[in-house]
Structure 1
């Protein structure tokens, strides 16, 4: 058993009496502050530290946002002295390794990750899906543009300029359907360039916190 214990309430800066809505709001703020993809000019060491912190914040939300997991965590939390509770991200990964069978359905995650430790990007996408989806679609209309170009070319061959216009519109709409249904928000977001991700994160920060992050 690890000598230190992750203080998930401290990770999210909420009291132990926080409601589920308060925990969700706190996660939104902390995940935006710690998301490594907003650090476009960071060196590898800074990127690594941010990634670890971002994962720990996702872990905190994963545990505290679910009533069953939170109850099981609180039972352990209450037995640990204050000196053993820490905000070091490593304590979170150690927690999932040490208590692999604590949560229902525990098992080994793909890639050798600690059992049941959530995927931080998927947690982020799930919580922000309503706000993230239009931002992602605005930055990644791959199939819509491809459909427009292909449709325009075929339409021009068949009916010159009028055909080009009709073909471009039809191809664009078909491509947009492929964009919408082909991949999850998390998958598309993960494939965007660093500058695009940073721009999206700044837009989310403006909506959630009222102002964009400054590098």
Structure 2
């Protein structure tokens, strides 16, 4: 018998978690498991991180919507074998995705029954950076460099400051030039730049305990 994914355990939240608790947990776990944090990872390590990142998106997709959560909780109570193993989530969507009625995030191209992890992350990524860029629409490049330098210094002192400033400046410059969302600009950066930004956001939001 297939094991049942414990999405509460995956997000490290109790079954009594509020909608805001679930979103906060998703921000934390999506940053911690984002494969772009592993700039120098082997293909196998990258694949493992990508799978974990997808499962975190699965958990948020199901629990963040009241109707989907109600259906999931009904199944949760009837299952004795629950697990945080990533493979269980893929099986879950294969067997039970039809009960969600196609609501919510855009589906992943390679598996139309599961949410697109990158699409879901883009939403919270913009939200995470909004306090840094709000009301500064004409100064993205300068503000991006300043914010990136500050976040980079937190993570890796002077080398981090330099990488962070450059990455932040690129984020802002492309936004100025092309009017793209921050998440779209992030997707165009190099692996090292992405890794520094993700690590800096984890440090900023959750402190040293968030760096794993």
Give TM-score scaled by structure 1 length.
0.72
Superposed CA RMSD:
2.9
CA distance in 1 between partners of 2:171 and 2:25 (Å): 36
Quote the offset at 1:105 in angstroms.
2.6
Q: Match for residue 95 of structure 1?
A: 92
CA distance in 1 between partners of 2:20 and 2:108 (Å): 31
CA distance in 1 between partners of 2:9 and 2:176 (Å): 42
Give TM-score scaled by structure 2 length.
0.73
CA distance in 1 between partners of 2:108 and 2:119 (Å): 14
Aligned: 1:38 with 2:37: yes
Query: Are the structure 2 counterparts of residues 129 and 143 from structure 1 closer, same or farther at C-alpha, using a change threshold of 3 Å?
Result: closer
Quote the offset at 1:39 in angstroms.
1.0
Larger radius of gyration: 1
CA distance in 1 between partners of 2:94 and 2:33 (Å): 23
Q: Match for residue 126 of structure 2?
A: 129
Match of 2:111 among 113, 120, 123: 113
Show structure 1 runs of 5+ residues with no match. 146-174
Give SS of 1:99's match.
Answer: helix
Q: Is the 8 A contact 2:122 2:183 kept in 1?
A: yes
Query: How does 1:1-215 map onto structure 2 within 5 Å?
Result: 3-81=2-80, 84-105=81-102, 109=107, 111-115=109-113, 117-132=114-129, 138=144, 139=167, 177-179=176-178, 181=179, 183-211=180-208
Give SS of 1:13's match.
Answer: coil
Give SS of 1:24's match.
Answer: helix
Q: Identify which range, 96-105 or 50-59, moves more after superposition.
A: 96-105
Q: Match for residue 162 of structure 2?
A: none
Quote the offset at 1:33 in angstroms.
1.5
Matched positions, count: 180
